Amino acid sequence: MKTKNLTLHVWRQDGPDAKGAFETYTAENVNEHMSFLEMLDDLNEKLIIEGKEPIAFDHDCREGICGSCNIVVNGYAHGPQERTTVCQLHMRHVFALGWSEIWLEPWRAAAFPVIKDLVVDRGALDRIIQSGGYISIRTGSARDANETPIPKPISDRAFDAATCIGCGACVAACPNASASLFTAAKVSHLGMLPQGQTERFDRVRKMVAQMDAEGFGSCTNHGECEKACPKGISIDFIAQMNRDFVKAMVTSKHDVEAPNDAE
Ligand code: SF4
Ligand code: FES
Protein backbone atom coordinates (compact mmCIF):
# COMPACT_ATOMS: atom_id res chain seq x y z
CA MET A 1 0.00 0.00 0.00
CA LYS A 2 1.48 3.29 -1.12
CA THR A 3 1.45 6.37 1.15
CA LYS A 4 2.69 9.84 0.43
CA ASN A 5 2.92 13.31 1.98
CA LEU A 6 1.18 16.01 -0.06
CA THR A 7 1.46 19.78 0.00
CA LEU A 8 -2.01 21.33 -0.26
CA HIS A 9 -2.65 24.99 -1.11
CA VAL A 10 -6.26 25.52 -0.05
CA TRP A 11 -8.46 28.54 -0.73
CA ARG A 12 -9.66 29.90 2.63
CA GLN A 13 -12.38 32.54 2.73
CA ASP A 14 -14.59 33.45 5.69
CA GLY A 15 -17.64 34.51 3.69
CA PRO A 16 -18.99 35.95 0.44
CA ASP A 17 -17.61 39.45 1.10
CA ALA A 18 -14.40 38.44 2.87
CA LYS A 19 -11.06 38.52 1.11
CA GLY A 20 -9.83 34.99 0.44
CA ALA A 21 -6.30 33.61 0.12
CA PHE A 22 -4.48 30.30 -0.29
CA GLU A 23 -3.12 28.66 2.84
CA THR A 24 -0.62 25.81 2.73
CA TYR A 25 -0.96 22.54 4.65
CA THR A 26 0.78 19.17 4.65
CA ALA A 27 -1.39 16.09 4.35
CA GLU A 28 0.75 13.35 5.91
CA ASN A 29 0.78 9.63 5.13
CA VAL A 30 -1.97 9.84 2.53
CA ASN A 31 -3.04 6.31 1.65
CA GLU A 32 -3.57 5.49 -2.05
CA HIS A 33 -6.93 3.84 -1.25
CA MET A 34 -8.39 6.97 0.36
CA SER A 35 -10.89 9.03 -1.54
CA PHE A 36 -9.97 12.66 -2.09
CA LEU A 37 -12.56 13.74 0.49
CA GLU A 38 -11.26 11.22 3.05
CA MET A 39 -7.85 12.81 2.60
CA LEU A 40 -9.45 16.18 3.44
CA ASP A 41 -11.35 14.62 6.40
CA ASP A 42 -8.02 13.39 7.74
CA LEU A 43 -6.43 16.81 7.37
CA ASN A 44 -9.44 18.45 9.06
CA GLU A 45 -9.14 16.10 12.05
CA LYS A 46 -5.52 17.15 12.41
CA LEU A 47 -6.47 20.85 12.15
CA ILE A 48 -9.18 20.43 14.82
CA ILE A 49 -6.72 18.67 17.19
CA GLU A 50 -4.34 21.59 16.67
CA GLY A 51 -7.14 24.03 17.54
CA LYS A 52 -7.35 25.40 14.00
CA GLU A 53 -10.42 26.02 11.85
CA PRO A 54 -11.18 23.00 9.62
CA ILE A 55 -11.49 23.49 5.86
CA ALA A 56 -15.13 23.87 4.77
CA PHE A 57 -16.03 21.76 1.76
CA ASP A 58 -19.38 20.52 0.48
CA HIS A 59 -20.41 16.87 0.19
CA ASP A 60 -23.39 14.64 0.80
CA CYS A 61 -23.72 11.26 -0.96
CA ARG A 62 -20.02 10.63 -1.66
CA GLU A 63 -21.28 8.32 -4.42
CA GLY A 64 -21.26 10.65 -7.42
CA ILE A 65 -25.01 11.25 -7.42
CA CYS A 66 -25.86 14.39 -5.42
CA GLY A 67 -23.59 16.92 -7.12
CA SER A 68 -22.54 18.61 -3.85
CA CYS A 69 -18.79 18.06 -3.87
CA ASN A 70 -17.45 21.06 -5.75
CA ILE A 71 -13.71 21.50 -5.73
CA VAL A 72 -11.36 22.66 -8.46
CA VAL A 73 -8.27 20.44 -8.11
CA ASN A 74 -5.13 21.77 -9.78
CA GLY A 75 -7.32 23.68 -12.24
CA TYR A 76 -9.72 20.82 -13.02
CA ALA A 77 -13.34 21.08 -11.87
CA HIS A 78 -13.91 17.79 -9.97
CA GLY A 79 -10.25 16.85 -10.46
CA PRO A 80 -8.26 15.26 -13.26
CA GLN A 81 -10.17 11.98 -13.64
CA GLU A 82 -12.70 12.19 -16.49
CA ARG A 83 -16.36 11.47 -15.72
CA THR A 84 -15.62 11.40 -12.00
CA THR A 85 -16.91 13.64 -9.23
CA VAL A 86 -14.35 14.72 -6.66
CA CYS A 87 -15.92 12.39 -4.06
CA GLN A 88 -15.24 9.44 -6.38
CA LEU A 89 -11.69 10.53 -7.08
CA HIS A 90 -9.20 8.31 -5.26
CA MET A 91 -5.71 9.19 -4.19
CA ARG A 92 -4.26 6.45 -6.41
CA HIS A 93 -5.49 8.50 -9.40
CA VAL A 94 -3.68 11.52 -7.98
CA PHE A 95 -0.50 9.53 -7.20
CA ALA A 96 -0.51 8.14 -10.75
CA LEU A 97 -0.13 11.69 -12.04
CA GLY A 98 2.93 12.21 -9.87
CA TRP A 99 1.35 15.18 -8.10
CA SER A 100 2.82 16.04 -4.72
CA GLU A 101 1.55 19.64 -4.64
CA ILE A 102 -2.16 20.35 -5.11
CA TRP A 103 -4.12 23.60 -5.34
CA LEU A 104 -7.74 23.47 -4.17
CA GLU A 105 -10.22 26.17 -5.15
CA PRO A 106 -14.00 26.65 -5.03
CA TRP A 107 -16.13 26.89 -8.21
CA ARG A 108 -15.40 30.39 -9.48
CA ALA A 109 -18.37 32.17 -11.04
CA ALA A 110 -20.18 35.41 -10.21
CA ALA A 111 -23.44 33.44 -9.94
CA PHE A 112 -21.87 31.10 -7.33
CA PRO A 113 -20.88 33.28 -4.33
CA VAL A 114 -18.45 31.66 -1.93
CA ILE A 115 -20.16 30.74 1.36
CA LYS A 116 -16.94 29.62 3.05
CA ASP A 117 -13.60 28.24 1.83
CA LEU A 118 -14.47 25.67 -0.87
CA VAL A 119 -18.26 25.88 -0.43
CA VAL A 120 -20.27 27.97 -2.91
CA ASP A 121 -23.96 28.82 -3.14
CA ARG A 122 -25.40 27.01 -6.18
CA GLY A 123 -28.93 28.27 -5.54
CA ALA A 124 -28.88 29.89 -9.00
CA LEU A 125 -29.17 26.41 -10.53
CA ASP A 126 -32.18 25.64 -8.30
CA ARG A 127 -33.89 28.84 -9.45
CA ILE A 128 -33.37 27.85 -13.10
CA ILE A 129 -35.17 24.58 -12.33
CA GLN A 130 -37.92 26.42 -10.42
CA SER A 131 -38.52 28.65 -13.44
CA GLY A 132 -39.61 25.77 -15.68
CA GLY A 133 -37.76 22.51 -15.11
CA TYR A 134 -40.87 20.47 -14.31
CA ILE A 135 -44.01 19.01 -15.88
CA SER A 136 -47.21 20.43 -14.38
CA ILE A 137 -49.78 18.30 -16.23
CA ARG A 138 -50.98 15.03 -14.70
CA THR A 139 -48.71 12.27 -15.96
CA GLY A 140 -50.42 9.38 -14.18
CA SER A 141 -48.76 6.64 -12.18
CA ALA A 142 -45.53 4.79 -12.89
CA ARG A 143 -47.57 2.20 -14.79
CA ASP A 144 -48.97 4.87 -17.15
CA ALA A 145 -45.44 6.03 -17.88
CA ASN A 146 -44.39 2.48 -18.69
CA GLU A 147 -47.35 2.11 -21.06
CA THR A 148 -46.54 5.25 -23.05
CA PRO A 149 -44.71 4.12 -26.19
CA ILE A 150 -41.47 6.07 -26.61
CA PRO A 151 -38.93 5.11 -29.28
CA LYS A 152 -35.79 3.72 -27.63
CA PRO A 153 -33.38 6.28 -29.18
CA ILE A 154 -35.54 9.08 -27.74
CA SER A 155 -35.83 7.52 -24.27
CA ASP A 156 -32.07 6.79 -24.24
CA ARG A 157 -31.24 10.36 -25.19
CA ALA A 158 -33.69 11.81 -22.66
CA PHE A 159 -32.10 9.57 -20.02
CA ASP A 160 -28.60 10.76 -20.99
CA ALA A 161 -29.73 14.36 -20.35
CA ALA A 162 -31.47 13.35 -17.13
CA THR A 163 -28.22 12.07 -15.64
CA CYS A 164 -27.16 15.67 -14.93
CA ILE A 165 -26.61 15.90 -11.17
CA GLY A 166 -26.66 19.72 -11.05
CA CYS A 167 -23.11 19.96 -9.73
CA GLY A 168 -22.14 23.11 -11.65
CA ALA A 169 -18.75 21.82 -12.86
CA CYS A 170 -19.76 22.93 -16.36
CA VAL A 171 -20.05 26.50 -15.07
CA ALA A 172 -16.74 26.31 -13.19
CA ALA A 173 -14.90 24.97 -16.25
CA CYS A 174 -16.37 27.43 -18.75
CA PRO A 175 -14.29 30.58 -19.46
CA ASN A 176 -17.61 32.48 -19.65
CA ALA A 177 -19.07 30.81 -16.53
CA SER A 178 -22.00 29.76 -18.66
CA ALA A 179 -24.69 27.44 -17.29
CA SER A 180 -25.76 26.41 -20.79
CA LEU A 181 -24.88 22.71 -20.42
CA PHE A 182 -26.81 22.37 -17.17
CA THR A 183 -29.83 24.27 -18.53
CA ALA A 184 -29.74 22.39 -21.82
CA ALA A 185 -29.68 19.04 -20.04
CA LYS A 186 -32.69 19.99 -17.92
CA VAL A 187 -34.62 21.53 -20.84
CA SER A 188 -33.90 18.57 -23.10
CA HIS A 189 -34.72 15.64 -20.86
CA LEU A 190 -38.24 16.99 -20.35
CA GLY A 191 -38.67 18.42 -23.86
CA MET A 192 -37.99 15.09 -25.58
CA LEU A 193 -40.62 13.04 -23.77
CA PRO A 194 -44.34 13.09 -24.70
CA GLN A 195 -45.28 14.21 -21.17
CA GLY A 196 -43.10 17.31 -21.56
CA GLN A 197 -44.56 18.59 -24.83
CA THR A 198 -47.35 20.80 -23.42
CA GLU A 199 -44.94 23.23 -21.78
CA ARG A 200 -41.95 22.59 -24.04
CA PHE A 201 -41.54 26.03 -25.59
CA ASP A 202 -42.60 28.06 -22.54
CA ARG A 203 -40.17 25.98 -20.51
CA VAL A 204 -37.15 26.77 -22.65
CA ARG A 205 -37.99 30.49 -22.74
CA LYS A 206 -38.40 30.70 -18.96
CA MET A 207 -35.31 28.67 -18.12
CA VAL A 208 -33.06 30.59 -20.52
CA ALA A 209 -34.46 33.89 -19.16
CA GLN A 210 -33.69 32.76 -15.60
CA MET A 211 -30.20 31.60 -16.59
CA ASP A 212 -29.50 35.08 -18.00
CA ALA A 213 -31.00 36.81 -14.96
CA GLU A 214 -28.71 34.85 -12.64
CA GLY A 215 -25.65 36.37 -14.32
CA PHE A 216 -24.24 33.31 -16.05
CA GLY A 217 -22.24 34.02 -19.19
CA SER A 218 -23.11 33.02 -22.74
CA CYS A 219 -21.98 29.84 -24.47
CA THR A 220 -19.26 30.42 -27.06
CA ASN A 221 -18.64 26.74 -27.82
CA HIS A 222 -15.36 26.21 -25.95
CA GLY A 223 -16.51 22.70 -24.99
CA GLU A 224 -14.80 22.83 -21.58
CA CYS A 225 -18.16 22.06 -19.94
CA GLU A 226 -18.51 18.69 -21.69
CA LYS A 227 -14.94 17.76 -20.71
CA ALA A 228 -15.50 18.64 -17.04
CA CYS A 229 -18.97 17.10 -16.75
CA PRO A 230 -18.81 14.02 -14.48
CA LYS A 231 -21.77 12.54 -16.34
CA GLY A 232 -20.39 13.10 -19.83
CA ILE A 233 -23.34 15.26 -20.94
CA SER A 234 -22.78 16.23 -24.56
CA ILE A 235 -22.72 19.83 -25.79
CA ASP A 236 -25.11 18.60 -28.51
CA PHE A 237 -27.79 19.30 -25.91
CA ILE A 238 -26.88 23.01 -26.02
CA ALA A 239 -27.55 23.02 -29.78
CA GLN A 240 -30.84 21.21 -29.11
CA MET A 241 -31.82 23.81 -26.49
CA ASN A 242 -30.90 26.65 -28.86
CA ARG A 243 -33.09 25.18 -31.62
CA ASP A 244 -36.05 24.96 -29.24
CA PHE A 245 -35.33 28.48 -27.97
CA VAL A 246 -35.36 29.93 -31.51
CA LYS A 247 -38.62 28.11 -32.30
CA ALA A 248 -40.10 29.40 -29.03
CA MET A 249 -39.11 32.99 -29.77
CA VAL A 250 -40.47 32.87 -33.33
CA THR A 251 -43.81 31.46 -32.26
CA SER A 252 -44.25 33.35 -28.96
CA LYS A 253 -46.99 35.91 -28.48
CA HIS A 254 -45.64 37.51 -25.31
CA ASP A 255 -42.34 38.18 -23.55
CA VAL A 256 -41.26 35.90 -20.72
CA GLU A 257 -39.49 37.38 -17.74
CA ALA A 258 -37.32 35.44 -15.36
CA PRO A 259 -39.90 34.40 -12.73
CA ASN A 260 -37.53 33.90 -9.79
CA ASP A 261 -35.61 36.72 -8.18
CA ALA A 262 -31.91 36.30 -8.83
CA GLU A 263 -30.02 37.25 -5.69
S1 SF4 B 1 -24.25 19.28 -17.06
FE2 SF4 B 1 -22.69 17.96 -16.07
S3 SF4 B 1 -21.26 19.43 -15.13
FE4 SF4 B 1 -23.13 20.56 -15.57
S5 SF4 B 1 -24.37 20.48 -13.70
FE6 SF4 B 1 -25.01 18.72 -15.00
S7 SF4 B 1 -23.72 17.02 -14.31
FE8 SF4 B 1 -22.73 18.87 -13.52
S1 FES C 1 -20.76 14.11 -2.59
FE2 FES C 1 -22.49 13.61 -3.85
S3 FES C 1 -21.67 13.70 -5.87
FE4 FES C 1 -19.92 13.99 -4.62
Tell me which residues have their CB closer than 6 angstroms to ligand 2. 59-62, 64-69, 85, 87
Of 114, 262, 242, the residue nearest 181 (C-alpha): 242
Are 170 and 82 within one domain? Answer: no
SS3 of residue 89 by DSSP: coil
pLDDT above 90 coverage of the chain, percent: 90
**Protein residue with its CA nearest to atom 2 in ligand 1:** 229
Are 97 and 71 within one domain? Answer: yes
User: In this model, does residue 261 exceed pLDDT 70?
Assistant: no
Shortest-distance atom of ligand 2 to CA 59: 1
262 within a domain of the structure (yes/no): no
User: In this model, does residue 262 exceed pLDDT 80?
Assistant: no
Q: Domain containing 72 — which CATH number?
A: 3.10.20.30
Are 13 and 82 within one domain? Answer: yes
**Protein residue with its CA nearest to atom 7 in ligand 1:** 164
Q: Tell me what the mean pLDDT of segment 20-43 comes to.
A: 98
Task: Label residue 31 by pLDDT band (50, 70, 90).
Answer: very high
256 within a domain of the structure (yes/no): no
260 within a domain of the structure (yes/no): no
Looking at the DSSP bridge assignments, the partners of residue 102 are 8
Are 231 and 169 within one domain? Answer: yes
Compute φ and ψ for 244, nearest 5 degrees.
-65, -35
Are 136 and 108 within one domain? Answer: no
Are 90 and 181 within one domain? Answer: no
Are 137 and 158 within one domain? Answer: yes
Give how many domains the chain has, as a whole number: 2
Are 188 and 108 within one domain? Answer: no
Query: Domain span at residue 187?
Result: 123-251
In whole angstroms, give the CA distance from residue 8 to residue 118: 13
57-99 pLDDT, tens per residue?
999 999 999 999 999 999 999 999 999 999 999 999 999 999 9
Distance 161 CA to ligand 1 centre (A): 10
Are 111 and 198 within one domain? Answer: no
> Is the CB of 170 inside a 6 Å radius of any atom of ligand 1?
yes
**Protein residue with its CA nearest to atom 1 in ligand 1:** 182
124-152 pLDDT, tens per residue?
999 999 999 999 988 888 888 888 899 99
Buried b (16+ CB within 10 A) or exposed e, 231-250: bebbbebbebbbebbeebee
> Is the CB of 216 inside a 6 Å radius of any atom of ligand 1?
no
211-240 pLDDT, tens per residue?
999 999 999 999 999 999 999 999 999 999
Are 98 and 210 within one domain? Answer: no
Q: Domain containing 230 — which CATH number?
A: 1.10.1060.10
Are 102 and 46 within one domain? Answer: yes
72 within a domain of the structure (yes/no): yes
Q: What is the pLDDT of residue 253?
A: 65
In whole angstroms, give the CA distance from residue 87 to residue 168: 15
Shortest-distance atom of ligand 1 to CA 182: 1
Which one of 87, 119, 125 would you pick to mutate in the ligand 2 pocket, going by the greatest count of ligand atoms within 8 A of its CB? 87
